[in-house]
Structure 1
Amino acid sequence: MIDYRDAVPGDGPELAAMARACFTETFGTLYSSENLATFLHQVFGPNGLPSQISDPDFTIRLATDAGRIVGFAKLGPNALPFPQADDANAVELYQLYVSSSHHGDGVGPALLDWAIATARGQGADTLALSVYVDNHRAKAFYARRGFVDVGRYDFPVGDQIDEDRLMVLAL
């Protein structure tokens, strides 16, 4: 049975390990070992995701199975340059990761429902995210929930720049 709860500081090491594993499994073959290592350290190292658990600007929701983290979603202040970003009261969905062992178990939809409700509860009028251009499964998932592709975003992984698509949902 999947349980959902907010992350606490003690979750940092396990959450970072789960996030690194998900990113590497999904995208690891796209990058040199140096670029991948740089990205994983910057985003999921001690000064990245684990430190954001205690940061009041971020909210992180976990999905657990038998006490083990199998998914998470992270919300925070919008940093994406989507059209009309300056006029929107936007929240950014930085990550929504689900372990491949739990794809199809409803974890992704439950975490996205939480993200949408939380953004609305914070008074946001827009939920924004970026998704890798060739991650067709994720793009379709967000489109089914009403997100609209509004343009290109250059996403750095080490010194490699990938094309992401900016997607927004009017709340």
Structure 2
Amino acid sequence: MTVTYRTAITADAAALATIGADTFIATFGHLYDPADLAIFLKSHSVEAWAKELNDRAFEVRVAELGGRLVGYAKLGPPHLPFEPRGEAAELRQLYVIEEVKGQGVARALIDWVIERARDRRADHLYLSVFTDNHRARRFYEKLGFEAEGTYAFMVGNHADEDIVMRLKL
């Protein structure tokens, strides 16, 4: 089967909520107290997704395999606690399920994000990545992203150190 890509629509909100929560739990869930994790996962609610999917400030690209979502990337305005340079856009999330990792899905999604950021006339693309997510950090570094600094990424009441990275477009 071939992975296909398309722009997300409002009807995708439930599937996006599920893949976002499931992927976060699978990757990082063991690090957190269940109460903190539950607070954080509210950001992956169907309602939150529906709101963003209907907001022109955001664009979401989905990857599908056999009619099932297997990944997505969300592009939006900067919201990280930093002073962006010039015109900026932010990769808000890039999630790919485990079974398709290493098959080029993340690369196809990030290529789309970079292209759309340029189309939006952004000079810089920002993202944040968990300090201990070495696989993701290597992926972004190979694309030319550079570390700008760190900040406290909150999962409920638990603070993790995330790295803010920037790509000059």
C-alpha separation in 2, matches of 1:153 and 1:53:
27
1:129 aligned to which of 110, 115, 127: 127
SS of match in other structure, 1:111: helix
Looking at structure 1, the residues matched to 88 and 137 of structure 2 have their Cα atoms a distance apart, in angstroms, of: 19
Partner deviation per Cα, 1:68-88 (whole Å, 9 max, x = no partner)? 000000000001234x51x42
Deviations 1:82-121 (Å, cap 9, x if unpaired)? 4x51x42110100000000100110000000000000000
Q: Report 1:35-46 matches (<5 A).
A: 35-41=36-42, 43-46=43-46
Q: Distance in 2 between matches of 1:143 and 1:16?
A: 28
Gaps of at least 5 residues in structure 2 are none
Matches within 5 A, 1:11-26: 11-26=12-27
Q: How does 1:139-158 map to 2 (within 5 A)?
A: 139-158=137-156
What is the aligned length?
168
Q: Give 1:17's aligned amino acid.
A: T
- The equivalent of 2:54 in structure 1 is 54
Q: 2:10 is matched with which residue?
A: 9
SS of residue in 2 equivalent to 1:62? strand
Matches within 5 A, 1:73-112: 73-82=73-82, 85=84, 87-112=85-110
Displacement of 1:54 in angstroms is: 1.1
Identical residues among aligned pairs (%): 45
Structure 2 CA distance for aligned equivalents of residues 57 and 113 of structure 1 = 19
Indicate if the aligned counterparts of 2:13 and 2:47 stay in contact, CA closer than 8 A: no
